Every structure is written in C-alpha cells, then in structure tokens.
Amino acid sequence: MTFLNWVFPALVLYFLSLTPIFSFSTETPNGVSEIPKKFLNLAKKSEVSDWMVNIRRQIHENPELGFEEFETSRLIRAELDNLGISYKYPIAVTGVIGSIGTGKPPVVAIRADMDALPLQEMVEWEHKSKVPGKMHGCGHDAHVAMLLGAAKLLQEHRDELRGTVLLIFQPAEEGSGGAKKMIDAGVLKNVDAIYGLHVHNDLPIGEVATRPGPLLAGSGFFNAVISGKGGHAAIPQHSIDPILAASNIVVSLQHLVSREADPLDSQVVTVAKFQGGDAFNVIPDSVIIGGTFRAFLYESLRQLKQRIEEVITGQAAVFRCNATVDFLEENPLFPPTINNKELHGHFHQVAGNMLGVHNVKEMQPLMGSEDFSFYQEVIPGYFFFLGMRNNTRGNLPSMHSPYFQINEDVLPYGAALHASVALTHLLQHQSKILLAERKHHDEL
C-alpha cells in the first residue's frame, strides 16, 4: 500500500469522527441516523422547549406586518447575543442573518419568516395579540421560535460543524417578497443550499409532508378600478354603471382558466375584493376589484397577467367604463416553489431517521404560494410542511384565519429538523470532498 492510499482513507475517517456526540460516519449502515433523534431529544428538554414557547408567545403578543418587524428583530438579536451567535443587521429593513460554525464554506442556510397578517385575532387566550387588527395567523411566530431553537442546538455543538450554518430571519413573506429583497442584499453569497419549513394544521404532529419538484404555485396580485358615472338608481339610463361592468369582469375572468388554460396546467384566478357603493339607491362612480392569480409555470403566470389586464379593460369598455389595472409591482410575481431532487433525498433520510419513514409523506402540489421560491431560483432549496395537529385536542383552524392557533408541542420538531438537516448537510458535503480526493489520489 502506498502512502497516499493509506493517508486519504485515514483522513476521511478522522474528519468524520470529529463529532463525538453523534459519532457520525458515512461508512456505517446507520449513516446520519443518530443525529436527528438526538437533536429531537435535546429539543424536547424543558430548558429548550419552554424557552422556545416563551419566545413564540412574546412574538405572538406583538405582531408586526411586513418590513415593520422591528421589535421581532430586536428580540431575535437579543437571543442571538445571549447564545453568543454573531449576526448581521439590518438586512432588507428588518432582516437578521446569524452565522454558526467556521465562517468558511461549505455554507448551508435555514430560514424563518417573521411577519404577521392584517387580521383581528378572535382567539381568547392569555397571549392574544395586543395589536388591534394584526395577528400571527400563519405561524411565523412559531417559525422564528423554531429557528432560534435550532440555533441553540447548533451553537451548543458548533465545534462539530464542518462549515457554516446561516440563520436567515426574513421579513415580509406575506405577499411583499421579502425573500427577494434579502437576495438582492446578498444573503445567498457562497451559500450552497437552503432549507425552510411551514407548520401545517391538518397534518398530525410528528409527521412531515413534502415532495421533490413542484410543491407550491407561483402567484401574483391585481387591483383594478372600474370608473363609470354615478347617478340615481331609479334612472340608470343617465348613469354609466361600474357595478354592472365589474360584475361581468368577474365572470369573464373565470373563463381564463376554464376556456384558455390547458387542463393539465393547473391555474387559478380569484377575485377576492369587490368594493363599490354604500347606498341602496345610488349608482357609484367607481368600483374596485382585486384578487390573485396562480400557476405552476412561470410562462403561465405571465400569460395570466397579460390576459387579466386585457379582460378587465376590454369588458369595462363594453359597458362604457374605463379601467386601470395595478399589478402591485412592489410585490413581485412569486415563482413556483420547486424542491431540489437531490436535497429531497437528503431531507427524506434525515426526517425518516427522526420521525420514522412512515411519517414522511409525499403530498400533492398545492396552489398556495411561498416566497421561499425566490431562494430556489438562485440556489438549490428545499421546503416542507410540519404537522402540528393533536387528535385528542380536536382540529386546528386553517392558516390565515382569525381563529388560527399553534400547537406549541410542534416547536421541538421544527428546531430539531432545522438543526439536523443543516448539520448533516455539512457533514455529508465534507465527506464527499474527502472521498473524491481519495479517489483522485487512488487513480494517481
């Protein structure tokens, strides 16, 4: 045996054995199986789980809308300071980027969104929102708490990281494209991959659901003003009725999917806002309508955008009205969320080792959208749903509902999954490099 044939196998085993707590080795049948289980056990300990619950409740009581998450950001930075984790702030107004590990490649990112919704919370409990008209009705308060939980787990084992984990606390996911502004600020520089999650009210706790390839649709928003001529409802011939025009526009917009879209290319156009008039006997001067459009292909999104404007302006003209359409350019089109297939294999292994392979479900694509997709346009990314339903407590209300609730038992699962996919991603990346070098020198 030559010196090189001996030294490279030894180096591989040396680097992979520098994780005394987890005893990680790619050359054993178990692979990374012990890391997720041990992280989950650590996350379930009261000093970690109670700490996450307290953070989540503080954020829930003080919800902030997109790009207004100043107090949420302040809390995050205070907790990172307490953990001894370095960070950069501000990024994209309120964003925070923490860093754990060597500060050198390889680099993997894990992400949480911070913003709330413009909803009045209807759940009566001790930690109800203190801000009228604002509520964490989509679980982002839990996402922040879980990412901080992962930060705590990883920081306690930072000496075992073979690279760097970035903690991305992102503003303005709810329609404002905060992820794109984070990317424009350079947060993905040198990052090899990114993972994200979302709580799910219909999945049992201890289950995850996801899929390789298309997971969520791309989306856009529109707002239109249809202007006519107001007048007395009893003499409509003296008016130009924008309500009649808008009503026909709503019906015509539905034909874009039923008559123009390929039935195998899933699309949605929904008018969710219709505002016009406030008296029984007065035809108003104008009507405002607005809504969203969704598709899994970016070209289909662009086509829908073009046809929505054509239908609104054209139908308005038929009824002698004028129309202006605003696609809210400050809120860019969200791309479809498409999971990287290689990362799917890694996530499936990690989640299966933690929860059991029978609790890792492959789901059908959904027409919901998620601005995590902006990250996936730049680097390999992976997104999954984390169940939190406890059958003994009954069903949980759906997301974006004023009655939405979090089962706080989910927090350790999210923290452990975040930490596990990040740590094992770095370890496997390092092992691939060393094994490739070993093969190269064996060939020499």
Residue 211 has φ and ψ, to the nearest 5°, of -165, 155
136 and 24 together in one domain = yes
User: What is the average per-residue pLDDT within 40-49?
Assistant: 97
What's the pLDDT at 182? 98
Q: Report the C-alpha gap between 36 and 76 in whole angstroms.
A: 24
User: Does residue 102 sit within a domain?
Assistant: yes
pLDDT over threshold 80, residue 161: yes
Which tokens belong to 70?
């100043």
pLDDT over threshold 90, residue 154: yes
Q: Report the C-alpha gap between 243 and 144 in whole angstroms.
A: 44
* Cis amide prior to 106 (ω within 30 degrees): yes
**Per residue in 309-325, pLDDT tens?**
999 999 999 999 999 99
- Residue 174 known to bind ligand: yes
Q: Could you say which of 326, 357, 379 is where a domain stops? A: 326
Of the candidate ranges 4-8, 135-139, 259-263, 369-373, the one whose mean pLDDT is the lowest: 4-8
pLDDT band at 13 (very low <50, low <70, confident <90, very high): very low
Is 257 in contact with 308 (CB distance < 8 Å)? no
Q: Report the C-alpha gap between 17 and 339 in whole angstroms.
A: 31
* Cis amide prior to 90 (ω within 30 degrees): yes
Q: Report the C-alpha gap between 389 and 359 in whole angstroms.
A: 13
118 and 53 together in one domain = yes
User: Does residue 7 sit within a domain?
Assistant: yes
360: burial class by Cβ within 10 Å (0-12, 13-18, 19+)? buried
User: What is the average per-residue pLDDT within 263-286?
Assistant: 96
55 and 159 together in one domain = yes
Among residues 384, 442, 444, the alpha carbon closest in space to that of 414 is found at 384
Total domains, the chain: 2
67 and 175 together in one domain = yes
User: What is the average per-residue pLDDT within 68-96?
Assistant: 98
What's the pLDDT at 32? 56
86 and 133 together in one domain = yes
* Residue bearing the bigger pLDDT, 360 or 6: 360
94 and 138 together in one domain = yes
What's the pLDDT at 428? 87
Which residues are 361's β-sheet partners? 209
344 and 227 together in one domain = no
What's the pLDDT at 435? 54
Which tokens belong to 428?
């496997």
pLDDT over threshold 50, residue 12: no
Q: What percent of the chain has pLDDT over 70?
A: 90
Q: Report the C-alpha gap between 48 and 57 in whole angstroms.
A: 14
The H or E element containing residue 136 is none
User: Does residue 46 sit within a domain?
Assistant: yes
pLDDT band at 4 (very low <50, low <70, confident <90, very high): very low
19 and 145 together in one domain = yes
Number of H helices, E strands in the chain: 11, 16
Amino acid at 272: A
244 and 280 together in one domain = yes
Which residues are 326's β-sheet partners? 223
Print burial letters for 380-419: b (CB count within 10 Å at least 16), e (below 16).
Answer: bbbbbbbbbbeeeeeebeebebeebbbbbebbbbbbbbbb
**CATH code of 295's domain:** 3.30.70.360
Print burial letters for 170-207: b (CB count within 10 Å at least 16), e (below 16).
Answer: bbbbbbbbbbbbbbebebbeebbbbbbbbbbbebebbb
pLDDT over threshold 90, residue 23: no
- Residue 321 known to bind ligand: no
User: Does residue 168 sit within a domain?
Assistant: yes
What's the pLDDT at 160? 87
Amino acid at 374: F
Q: Could you say which of 277, 294, 326 is where a domain stops? A: 326
User: What is the average per-residue pLDDT within 27-36?
Assistant: 64
pLDDT band at 444 (very low <50, low <70, confident <90, very high): low
User: What is the average per-residue pLDDT within 250-261?
Assistant: 97
Which tokens belong to 194?
């990114």
Work out whether the CA dihedral 55, 56, 58, 59 comes out positive or negative.
Answer: positive
User: Does residue 444 sit within a domain?
Assistant: no
8 and 142 together in one domain = yes
User: Does residue 346 sit within a domain?
Assistant: yes
Q: What is the 3-state secondary structure (H, E, C) of 288-338?
A: EEEEEEEECCHHHHHHHHHHHHHHHHHHHHHCCCEEEEECCCCCCCECCEE
Q: How many CB atoms lie within 10 A of CB 4?
A: 14
**Per residue in 185-223, pLDDT tens?**
999 999 999 999 999 999 999 999 999 999 999 999 999
Print burial letters for 132-169: b (CB count within 10 Å at least 16), e (below 16).
Answer: eebbbbbbbbbbbbbbbbbbbbbbebeebbbbbbbbbb
What's the pLDDT at 366? 96
- Residue 140 known to bind ligand: yes
User: Does residue 401 sit within a domain?
Assistant: yes
* Coil/strand/helix, residue 349: helix
What's the pLDDT at 5? 44
User: Does residue 331 sit within a domain?
Assistant: no
Q: Could you say which of 291, 326, 361 is where a domain stops? A: 326
pTM of the model: 0.88
What's the pLDDT at 330? 74
96 and 203 together in one domain = yes
Domain span at 167: 3-216+336-439
**CATH code of 133's domain:** 3.40.630.10
Residue 334 has φ and ψ, to the nearest 5°, of -80, 130
pLDDT band at 392 (very low <50, low <70, confident <90, very high): confident
pLDDT over threshold 90, residue 412: yes
18 and 157 together in one domain = yes
